[in-house]
Amino acid sequence: MKTRALGNHTVGYFMLRMAHRLTSHHRALFSPKYLSGTSAHITTTSYFRAPFDVKDKDDFQKKVLASVKPVLVDFHAKLLMRNNMISQDSWCGPCKALSPKLDAIMGEKDGLLELAKVDIDVHSDLAMEYEVAGIPTVLGVKNGKVVNRFTGLIETKELREFVEKLLS
């Protein structure tokens, strides 16, 4: 193996070349010029606050109706019984499909609104109070009042319009 003197240290030529290639590659990949073409695909979630599960009616009152921010309330089915055991898989296909869309929208909005999740199997009283006839049902709550709602799976574009209406 060839060696090369660097100051007081002798470094293997091969190791030196590999280190140079790695740092050059890293600089090239993360340079502003390279990232400028792809930055539209990067979503910053630094202010993204995780959705919260509503625990009971009092929790709904405090975190949703008394919130200073607008709140999306996702009435969904979460729990599924399998072999007398509770599974976290949902029996509701549209609920499973809508959940990542809601998370993505929340990430885009940088903390401008909250996302509350209400499991209708656990909180049927809230579902009845807010006249949830099908799932998923999403309510837009602003200043303690329901201002908009939709039921079923909708496209991401429609979901964005729903959220924009809630934020305006």
Query: What tokens were used for 30?
Result: 């993360």
Inter-residue contact 3 to 9 (CB < 8 Å): no
Distance CA(64)–CA(142), nearest Å, equals: 9
Which candidate in 92, 98, 126, 141 is catalytic? 92
Inter-residue contact 35 to 44 (CB < 8 Å): no
158 is catalytic: no
Distance CA(29)–CA(151), nearest Å, equals: 43
Which candidate in 54, 95, 102, 105 is catalytic? 95
62 is catalytic: no
Positions annotated as catalytic residues are 92, 95
